[in-house]
Chain A
Amino acid sequence: MYPAAFDYKRPATVDEAVALLVRHGDDAKLLAGGHSLIPAMKLRLAQPKVVVDIGRITNLSYIRDTGGTIAIGAMTTHHEIDASKVLHDRSPLLPETARHIGDTQVRNKGTIGGSLAHADPAADYPAAILALDAEIDLVGPRGRRTVKAGAFFIDLLQTAIAPDEILTEIRVPATARTTAYVKTEQKASGFALAGAAVVIGADGVRVGITGVAAKAYRATGVEQALAGQRTPTAEAIARAAAHAADGVQPLGDIHASPAFRAHLAQVNTRRAIERALSRA
């Protein structure tokens, strides 16, 4: 309930924030929407010595249509993503996913950058980010670099972001309407026991799965099984979806055994593919 003492810094620019990260190293922690960090600090599971609040940095909150892709500032809230006409029209998977996150209060404060950087294994966005094959911009003392979604999630709560880098922008491609996110909620927290995000396009099917393993992953077995099939039969979809948890070590806890998580991954993958196709 009462966090340990910490220093509070509120940089005005990304460069200032990066400088603070460089100066304080492992002692510093970035505060975005605060919906993972602050509860952890209140429980004293996290005790950063310096909290760097990037909430006042201007120009980190936007959704821009840049032609083939839509660029989203890291500090864009879940609600802003859900409410974005540009995304609804051009890349509707992300708004559909945002709607599944937490509750209204969480969606009003939580940010896409914060969620991705925290990389909770049961967060919703990672499934969509993987299925969209998004690009993520990181800014550090060595400048800006871009990481593909597939290389972004490294392990439990661990991403490609270096300790002195800040996630600044996410770029998702414009897609067809044939996308969907289907999730089974952990009843208490609302996080995903298994969430499947699907993008179906001319180049095939991409499936991102969250909640099932220590990190979100691409269900490549499902993708390969559907390769080349523009209108797969229900049986083909079910057969393909059965590969949704291939090669991963499913998590088990009081809310779902590993077997149930794997099963839900299959069911939700099948349903997400069916739903995406129904939107054609």
Chain B
Amino acid sequence: MADTIGTPYVGRAMKRVEDPRLIKGLATYVDDIRLPGLLHAVILRSPHAHARIGRVDVSAARAIPGVVAVLTGADVNAACGLVPCAAAIPDLKAPKHTVLAGDRVYFVGHAVAVAVATDPYIARDAIDAIDVDYDPLPAVTNPEEAVKSGTPLTHPDLGSNIAYTHVVAGGSDIDEAFRRADRVVKHRLCHQRLTPMPIEPRGVVASYDPGEGTLTLWTATQIPHLLRTLLPGMIGVPENKLRVVAPEVGGGFGAKLNVYPEEALCAHLAMRLNAPVKWIESRRENAASTIHGRDQIGEYEVAVKKDGAILGIRTRTVADLGSYLQLLTPAIPTLTGLVLTGCYRIPAVKMEIVGVYTNKMATDAYRGAGRPEATYLIERLMDVVARELGIDRVDLRLKHFPAPAEFPFATSCGLTYDSGNYQGALTKARQLANWDQLLKDRAAARAAGRLSGIGISTYVEICAMGPSKAMPAGGWEWGCVRMEISAKVTVITGVSPHGQGQETTFAQFVADRLGVLMEDIVVLHGDTNVAHYGRDTYGSRGTAVGGSAIVMCIDKIVAKAKTLAAHLFETTADHVVFEKGTFRAPGVTNREIGWPELAGEAYVAKNLPAGLEPGLEASSFYEPQNFTFPFGTHIVAVEVDRDTGHVAITKYVAVDDCGPQINPLIVEGQVQGGIAHSIGQVLFEQTIYDENGQLLTGELMDYALPRAADIPEYILGSTVTPSPVNPLGIKGVGEAGTIGATPAIANAVLDALQPLGVTHLDLPMTPERVWQAIKTRTAAPVGA
């Protein structure tokens, strides 16, 4: 389709405008920033999970030529404040989180000292020359053991390993539900610990201008604006003298939705040493000292009637928080509770969450944050209930779906699902998967002695975060649109895309709404001196919330332009029609005014109506009235190799409903990436600490990320149910893939093993675990 004004961009699978610079190596990441006099910081990290720090001898390190400073916690902590946690949980016990360790280290990778030198090799040499005496202490590594009395403590000063106990509950009386039940189905389910592993690790460059008293911080982050809000309290630079820049950011997956010690530390070093300072995280540091995800263990009980009606779910879940609270650490498991009922009408729910400190890296938001946990739990439980009651698992799901007419649908956890047609997505997925044929193929494969399985999951999730009353620090979004004097359009957003493609999607709908060419639009983001305000990118909020702020700006500009056009047409604004970038006043004049003329008039400002300000620019804060709730159905077919335990995905069908799609190519990319995360989580990814708290998955040699060859051909479809809560009708799609996919794949593997009587496997379902499960239930001939 040719790019002409008036031909809609929205709905077209446009290639991303971001990609050429990424593909050609022309993008600027933090490590590409070079400043005159730049110093390089390298951090010494603890090899112990828990130890008292004795003597620290930095004299040899300081003596190395080229070393500018070698500093420990005693030198910098007072000036760097405490690393913040923004989650408000009642009665939360929190350790003081200093930027460098004080007298103890609490996890392998805990920052102990920093060396700054004229080049990174010298700084690295200096680290090797620091001599630290550690007095090892017992490490807390098993969260279920850690809650028992008399066990060693992660933080002895807190007196307990329990950070909080929090109950998420709602609906009718849970005890009554279990009293009325014909049967209680019990199942234990765990989410292993995962490492987000963005391809670009973290990195910071800090530069201080002593004349201006201003500090500029370039950091590989998802949240430049939240950093600008939170860092001043740590480092003492006022907010209006702090500029935070998120340059090109190579993936985040939640790992860069945080305030990290190194950000405050580099800022402090730049001021202290009066020179710009760069710190680039190594892959090994990224594995050890950037947040991890998931790590929840729960015992689940489902109250059911004989006919399959689910009366209630209750659980006690232990969440392994690691040793410190990062920005949202304690809040993530509570999100699980909020959406635990999934897309089902379940009258009563109660989730008791016990947040536990262990001598590991903190857990926090990782792609899907709380919702993949919930979806995996409820979708596994639906299969378990269906099997125990001998009910078809699809029928059981259908039985509990609200009807499309029942939306907005109030859940027992207090959420109001905006819109939905769960039956529609399920039906479409079954069509795309050729469900009846799949069942026949499975029967034939089983008859031939093969282990063949089909998995299904139907999911709903929480996106477009979110209404400010439900968010820790404002859930609104800011935007600005400027029609320049040249009729080029500058769009500035307070969200901070790092792979989501909003330079493309925002330009698509702005072009349509303003009637300009996409190539005449530039979308700016990620620099607090450019995008003055914002709440950044996480929780699938970028387009639904950030895009809505842009829509508000467009509406303001068009309204102002109509006023100006009316003045030029010598009529009133209500006679002005705006269409495809042209202003007309039918019945008044045949004259047409396009943006170039109108923008010229607005800025030259010689002929403005009385009271109209010059310029054509508008900014807006958009406050979402509710979250959005995307949904869908994933269907997976697998075949398990009896001899090796290897799981092969033979078919993957996903139908996702994220509302209207601005760019189907980007939606598809997001879904594909999300499913890849789930393939990793279900089949091989896991962050492993041994019982002494040693991290054993410290490099990509041992942490198994999914690769291209692990990804099957996807059959992707969609249904479109607009959200009534924002002007674009958009629900969000950044996390949907991984939310829907994890249980679908897990259910498929267990379905394949069902003929052997295997009812449960822990995640990840590695070949060895699968083989063990097969072996214990069959007497395999030797060598077979």
Is A255 in contact with B781, judged by CB distance below 8 angstroms? no
Q: Which residues of A contact B688 (CB under 8 A)?
A: 254
Whether a CB of chain B sits under 8 angstroms from the CB of A263 is yes
With a 10 A CB-CB cut-off, give which of A5, A239, A264, A269 has the most chain B CB atoms: A264
The complex places the Cα of A239 from the Cα of B781 at a distance, in Å, of 9
Can you name the residue of chain A whose Cβ is closest to the Cβ of B42? A2
Whether a CB of chain B sits under 8 angstroms from the CB of A1 is yes
Is B124 in contact with A239, judged by CB distance below 8 angstroms? no
The complex places the Cα of A260 from the Cα of B770 at a distance, in Å, of 11
Given contacts A2-B121, A187-B704, contact A270 B768 (CB under 8 A): no
The complex places the Cα of A44 from the Cα of B124 at a distance, in Å, of 10
Question: How far does the Cβ of A1 sit from chain B's closest Cβ, in whole Å?
Answer: 4
Is A188 in contact with B703, judged by CB distance below 8 angstroms? yes
Question: How far does the Cβ of A15 sit from chain B's closest Cβ, in whole Å?
Answer: 33
Is A254 in contact with B697, judged by CB distance below 8 angstroms? yes
Question: Which of B120, B696, B700 is the one whose CB lies under 8 Å from A2?
Answer: B120
Q: Which residues of B contact A43 (CB under 8 A)?
A: 284, 699
Is A188 in contact with B783, judged by CB distance below 8 angstroms? no
Q: Which residues of A contact B610 (CB under 8 A)?
A: none
Interface residues of A in 230-271 (CB under 8 A from B): 238-242, 244, 254-257, 260, 263-264, 266-267, 269-270
Whether a CB of chain A sits under 8 angstroms from the CB of B596 is no
The complex places the Cα of A75 from the Cα of B425 at a distance, in Å, of 56
The complex places the Cα of A242 from the Cα of B646 at a distance, in Å, of 20
The complex places the Cα of A5 from the Cα of B65 at a distance, in Å, of 14
Question: How far does the Cβ of B699 sit from chain A's closest Cβ, in whole Å?
Answer: 8
With a 10 A CB-CB cut-off, give which of A240, A242, A263, A264 has the most chain B CB atoms: A263
Question: How far does the Cβ of B239 sit from chain A's closest Cβ, in whole Å?
Answer: 33
Can you name the residue of chain A whose Cβ is closest to the Cβ of B768? A260
Q: Which residues of B contact A151 (CB under 8 A)?
A: none
Whether a CB of chain B sits under 8 angstroms from the CB of A189 is yes
The complex places the Cα of A185 from the Cα of B175 at a distance, in Å, of 49
Interface bin, chain B: 20 to 34
Question: How far does the Cβ of B349 sit from chain A's closest Cβ, in whole Å?
Answer: 36
Type the 1/0 row for B746-781, where 1 means its CB is closer than 8 Å to any CB of A: 000000000000000000001110010000000001
Can you name the residue of chain A whose Cβ is closest to the Cβ of B645? A260
Is B768 in contact with A188, judged by CB distance below 8 angstroms? no
Q: Which residues of B contact A266 (CB under 8 A)?
A: 782-783
Q: Which residues of B contact A188 (CB under 8 A)?
A: 684, 697, 700-705
Total contacting residues, chain A, CB less than 8 A: 28
Is A239 in contact with B768, judged by CB distance below 8 angstroms? no
Given contacts A1-B282, A188-B702, contact A254 B696 (CB under 8 A): yes
Type the 1/0 row for A1-32, where 1 means its CB is closer than 8 Å to any CB of B: 11111000000000000000000000000000
Question: Which of A2, A260, A269 is the one whose CB lies under 8 Å from B124?
Answer: A2
Question: How far does the Cβ of A124 sit from chain B's closest Cβ, in whole Å?
Answer: 15
Whether a CB of chain A sits under 8 angstroms from the CB of B592 is no
Q: Which residues of B contact A69 (CB under 8 A)?
A: none
Type the 1/0 row for B623-645, where 1 means its CB is closer than 8 Å to any CB of A: 00000000000000000000110
Given contacts A239-B783, A242-B783, A260-B768, contact A267 B644 (CB under 8 A): yes
Q: Which residues of B contact A84 (CB under 8 A)?
A: none
Whether a CB of chain A sits under 8 angstroms from the CB of B26 is no
Q: Which residues of A contact B696 (CB under 8 A)?
A: 254
* Count, A-B residue pairs, CB within 8 A: 68
Whether a CB of chain B sits under 8 angstroms from the CB of A159 is no
Whether a CB of chain B sits under 8 angstroms from the CB of A220 is no
Whether a CB of chain A sits under 8 angstroms from the CB of B784 is yes
Whether a CB of chain B sits under 8 angstroms from the CB of A158 is no
Whether a CB of chain B sits under 8 angstroms from the CB of A168 is no
Q: Which residues of B contact A189 (CB under 8 A)?
A: 700-702
The complex places the Cα of A1 from the Cα of B201 at a distance, in Å, of 12
The complex places the Cα of A269 from the Cα of B784 at a distance, in Å, of 10
Question: How far does the Cβ of B758 sit from chain A's closest Cβ, in whole Å?
Answer: 17
Is A184 in contact with B767, judged by CB distance below 8 angstroms? yes
Question: How far does the Cβ of A262 sit from chain B's closest Cβ, in whole Å?
Answer: 11
Q: Which residues of A contact B120 (CB under 8 A)?
A: 1-2
Q: Which residues of A contact B283 (CB under 8 A)?
A: 1
Can you name the residue of chain B whose Cβ is closest to the Cβ of A194? B644
Type the 1/0 row for A23-55, where 1 means its CB is closer than 8 Å to any CB of B: 000000000000000000001100000000000
Question: How far does the Cβ of A157 sit from chain B's closest Cβ, in whole Å?
Answer: 15
The complex places the Cα of A254 from the Cα of B128 at a distance, in Å, of 28
Is A241 in contact with B697, judged by CB distance below 8 angstroms? no
Type the 1/0 row for A164-191, where 1 means its CB is closer than 8 Å to any CB of B: 0000000000000000000010011100
Is A184 in contact with B768, judged by CB distance below 8 angstroms? no
Is B783 in contact with A241, judged by CB distance below 8 angstroms? yes
Q: Which residues of B contact A254 (CB under 8 A)?
A: 688, 696-697, 702
Question: How far does the Cβ of A235 sit from chain B's closest Cβ, in whole Å?
Answer: 9
Whether a CB of chain A sits under 8 angstroms from the CB of B125 is yes
Is A44 in contact with B783, judged by CB distance below 8 angstroms? no
Can you name the residue of chain B whose Cβ is closest to the Cβ of A264? B644
Is B697 in contact with A267, judged by CB distance below 8 angstroms? no
Is B783 in contact with A5, judged by CB distance below 8 angstroms? no
Question: How far does the Cβ of B128 sit from chain A's closest Cβ, in whole Å?
Answer: 7
The complex places the Cα of A269 from the Cα of B120 at a distance, in Å, of 48
Question: How far does the Cβ of A166 sit from chain B's closest Cβ, in whole Å?
Answer: 27
The complex places the Cα of A240 from the Cα of B701 at a distance, in Å, of 33
Q: Which residues of B contact A239 (CB under 8 A)?
A: 782-783
The complex places the Cα of A154 from the Cα of B42 at a distance, in Å, of 39
Given contacts A2-B121, A188-B703, A254-B697, contact A44 B784 (CB under 8 A): no
| B residues neighboring A (CB under 8 Å) | 42, 120-121, 123-125, 128, 280, 282-284, 643-644, 646, 684, 688, 696-697, 699-705, 766-768, 771, 781-784
Can you offer 13 A-B residue contacts whose CB atoms are under 8 A?
Answer: A2-B123, A44-B124, A44-B128, A184-B644, A184-B646, A238-B781, A240-B783, A242-B782, A254-B696, A257-B768, A260-B767, A260-B771, A270-B783
| A residues neighboring B (CB under 8 Å) | 1-5, 43-44, 184, 187-189, 238-242, 244, 254-257, 260, 263-264, 266-267, 269-270
Beyond A43-B284, A242-B782, list 8 extra A-B contacts (CB 8 Å). A5-B125, A189-B702, A238-B782, A239-B783, A241-B783, A254-B702, A263-B771, A266-B783
